[in-house]
């Protein structure tokens, strides 16, 4: 009898757990020191990628990107950098749209 009560209780809990609606969490807001720009950046500049400094496979091209200087966008050209040890790939800097405007996400190693 006791086992039957425990089984009924466990099944009831499992059934009730399925009735709870779980909404996906909203995306986190950008970091607190974000500067929002009211207009999107211009189109990327097409760059000619020069040869790496030497033939070793340690060089990664960091493509150019737009930066906001408080008044206008300025182009920062791409360049070669040496890959840090034990790092998989370079995530390029980019701009993301937000309800408050556009904000810049720094490039980083992942």
- Is 17 among the domain residues? no
- Is 12 among the domain residues? no
Residue 107's contacts (CB-CB under 8 Å, 6 or more residues apart) are 62, 65, 90, 91, 92, 93, 94
C-alpha to C-alpha distance for 38 and 85, rounded to whole angstroms: 38
Total domain count for the chain?
A: 1
- Is 69 among the domain residues? yes
C-alpha to C-alpha distance for 96 and 34, rounded to whole angstroms: 11
- Is 41 among the domain residues? yes
**Structural domain harbouring 85:** 32-109
- Is 11 among the domain residues? no
Residue 109 scores a pLDDT above 80: yes
Does the reported pTM lie above 0.85?
no
- Is 21 among the domain residues? no
Mean pLDDT of the chain: 80
Q: Which of 68, 73, 110 is nearest to 92 (CA)?
A: 110
């Amino acid at each position: 009898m006791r086992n039957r009560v425990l089984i009924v209780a466990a099944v009831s809990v499992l059934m009730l757990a399925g009735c709870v609606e779980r909404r996906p969490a909203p995306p986190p807001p950008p970091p607190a020191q974000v500067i929002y720009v009211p207009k999107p950046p211009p189109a990327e500049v097409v760059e000619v990628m020069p040869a790496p400094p030497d033939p070793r496979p340690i060089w990664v091209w960091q493509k150019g990107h737009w930066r906001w200087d408080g008044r206008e966008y300025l182009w920062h050209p791409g360049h070669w950098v040496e890959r840090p040890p034990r790092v998989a790939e370079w995530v390029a800097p980019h701009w993301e749209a937000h309800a408050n405007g556009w904000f810049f996400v720094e490039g980083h190693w992942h």
